[in-house]
Structure 1
Amino acid sequence: MNNCILMAEIVQDPELRYTPDNQTPIAEMWVQFPGLREEDPPAKLKAVGWGNLAQEIQQNYHQGEQVILEGRLHMITFDRPEGFKEKRAELTVQRIHRLGATGTLTTATAMPTAAPMPSVSSTSPTAGETTPKTKPAKAPTAVKPAPQPKVPAYSAPPAADPTDYDDIPF
């Protein structure tokens, strides 16, 4: 199974182009992510989105943003002008999520909306009355798991009566 999840920074604004045959949109962008060690330079990778996702990437994502990319990683080979072939890794994006400035995750795909809260009807206070103050909700208490009885992982059945000897040993 080829599945890759990568947290990276967009280095170049996404470019939108179309295939010549059926005009399918393709968005290409360069992303970078830190090396494994502190002294390693950041690694760069081309990320490609197809179809409606390509249009969404081009419209909603820009250089400098932190994103989480989900997709398939593969190697492409192409001819260099210098006369040799080069292999490069490329990520075909299937989902993209934006990371906020505080590290919060916002996704680009549509999420189901929560059920609307019932409205509370209120009456305006008359002269001499004050508006009722609401109390903040208490934080939910942590649920402790029920203690599990200590049972050995394996218990052998009791030994057979050793005094019962049979004439035939098998």
Structure 2
Amino acid sequence: MDRIAIIGCGGSGKSTVARQLARVLDAPLTHLDAIYYDEHWRPLPQDEFAAQQEKLVVGERWIIEGNYAGSLPIRLAAADTVIFLDLPATTCLWGIAQRRWRYRGGQHHQDGVYDRITWNFIRYILGYRRTMRPRVQGLLREHGPHVRLITLTSRRQAARLIDRVRDEQQSVT
């Protein structure tokens, strides 16, 4: 696990899993939201966003978290591991509610997340498994047949993965 792409619905826990794995593996972490949006929540043009990712994936070791299906092939081509957080919509909605409560809204500069809960965002979360999951799975088949795919369907599974990786790292050192 040297080049890890972490994908999943908003509120699924991508940032949390990425931070924990980066700590355990001592790997550089990039939150795509922090690249895609500036401090005024303006998106980067798609070609610049893709170019930024092209630069990131040449690294020997990295963890990149964020969905962005339009540029997912860039990450898939270079990744050796993909962690797909495929959690139920209710869990993801609870995740964004917890994040909103914890940070009290606003933009979190360290990971680029902006707590902007809109009806469109809620609809996106509610429909993710029906609309985005098949698209992501198709991209995985097309651009990532070489990756080790780890699909997690609960927060408990995510915690067990972190524990397992931590145990493996401790047994190596």
- More helix by percentage: 2
What's the TM-score bracket when you normalise by the shorter of the two chains?
A: under 0.3
Work out which of the two has the higher radius of gyration on C-alpha atoms and give 1 or 2: 1
Larger relative contact order, structure 1 or 2 (CA cutoff 8 Å, min sep 6): 2
- More strand by percentage: 1
